[in-house]
Amino acid sequence: MRVAPSILSADFGNLAHDVQAICDGGCDLVHVDVMDGHFVPNLTIGPVVVDAVNKASTKPLDIHLMVENNSFFVDLFAPYNPEFISFHIEEEKHPHRLIQKIRSLGIRPALVLNPHTPVETIEFLLEDVDMVLLMSVNPGFGGQTFIPSVIEKAIGLKALIEKRDTECLIEVDGGVNDKNIKALCDAGVDIVVAGSFVYKHPQGIATAIASLK
Ligand code: DX5
Ligand code: ZN
């Protein structure tokens, strides 16, 4: 299981320190939640902060766009060489075109599905993306409660990936902790995002990451 802590739960007054802490603590990716105040009722960070996060990080960035104008934001964040840029299928009229654009920039494209969005919606895009991110909370805030139906969705997505005979990672984001990690692993999930569980763990960041792995 690869672990991508979300910096949304970091102390933004000590952001470089808190990014280094997850890298030193054994994370695989640094998950960056970009919110525009339109697609979701919250506003987070732009390129100035992502530049600082990138400089502090020794691990690749995993940029999760929760925005209305995806293509504009892809252009803003491409210079920081993230491993992944993921965008919400609910907000994109031309996902195939955007996937091609992200790949042409040397970045691995990924799709995100809100809790209500069926996995069948993206069946004919699975060959074109490197990852599908299933939301296990409603996007917008850290520290929310895990929605258990994502387990069934992950099992369905895994079956769809096998049916299409393609390779595509499955990531889950929201409310992940040491109670639901086993079910996620059994469902075929490859990467979990965890914000509050990692940053607020009483035994510290490294213990939190190790317990998920
Ligand atoms: C929610 C974000 C998540 C969130 C995860 O919109 O996409 O990445 O910060 O935080 P936790 O693990 O606390 O649910
Ligand atoms: Zn996220």
The confidence score (pLDDT) of residue 71 equals 98
The confidence score (pLDDT) of residue 31 equals 99
What's the pTM?
0.98
Helix (H, G, I), strand (E, B) or coil at 125: helix
What CA–CA distance (Å, rounded) separates 119 from 80?
Answer: 30
For residue range 169-197, list pLDDT tens digits in order: 999 999 999 999 999 999 999 999 999 99
Mean pLDDT of 88-95: 98
The confidence score (pLDDT) of residue 181 equals 98
Instruction: Give the structural domain span for 36.
Output: 2-212
* Residue 33 CA, ligand 2 centroid: distance in Å: 5
The confidence score (pLDDT) of residue 34 equals 98
* Residue 134 CA, ligand 2 centroid: distance in Å: 10
Output the CA–CA distances (angstroms, integers) from residue 150 to 55, 118, 153, 199, 213, in the order listed: 34, 10, 5, 23, 19
Instruction: Kindly list the catalytic residues.
Output: 33, 173
The confidence score (pLDDT) of residue 160 equals 98
Which is it for the CA torsion 201, 206, 207, 212, positive or negative? positive
The confidence score (pLDDT) of residue 63 equals 99
* Residue 175 CA, ligand 2 centroid: distance in Å: 11
| Summary mean pLDDT of the chain | 98
Q: How confident is the model at residue 198 (pLDDT cuts 50, 70, 90)?
A: very high
Side chain identity at residue 25, one-letter code? G
Task: Kindly report the CATH number assigned to the domain that includes residue 162.
Answer: 3.20.20.70
The confidence score (pLDDT) of residue 69 equals 97
Q: Which residues lie with the beta carbon below 6 Å from any ligand 1 atom? A: 6, 8-9, 31, 33, 64, 137, 139-140, 142-144, 173-176, 193-197
E-assigned strand segments in 55-98: 61-66, 84-88
**What's the structural domain count of the chain?**
1
Q: How confident is the model at residue 7 (pLDDT cuts 50, 70, 90)?
A: very high
